[in-house]
Amino acid sequence: MLDSFRWGNSIKEGITVAIIGAPNAGKSTLLDTILNEEKALVSDIAGTTRDFIEVHW
């Protein structure tokens, strides 16, 4: 049980994932694609997303 707890708990509770990358790398596009929702503004201007965007998915 001890050995399988982390794996089982990750499936049950989910895991925390951070999308990190250079300005204009496509982080917001990736997030919106995963969510199938326009959560983060996508633009060709580097530095569009300034705040942390936290979602539960």
Q: Check binding of 47 to ligand GTP (CB under 6 A).
A: yes
Q: State the chain's maximal CA–CA distance in angstroms.
A: 49
**Nearer residue to ligand GTP within complex by CB, 3 or 44:** 44
CA distance readout (Å), 11 to 3, 14, 30, 49, 52: 14, 5, 22, 30, 25
**Nearer residue to ligand GTP within complex by CB, 3 or 54:** 54
* Out of 9, 10, 26, 34, the residue judged to bind ligand GTP by CB under 6 A: 26
Binding site for Mg ion (CB under 5 A): 28, 48-49
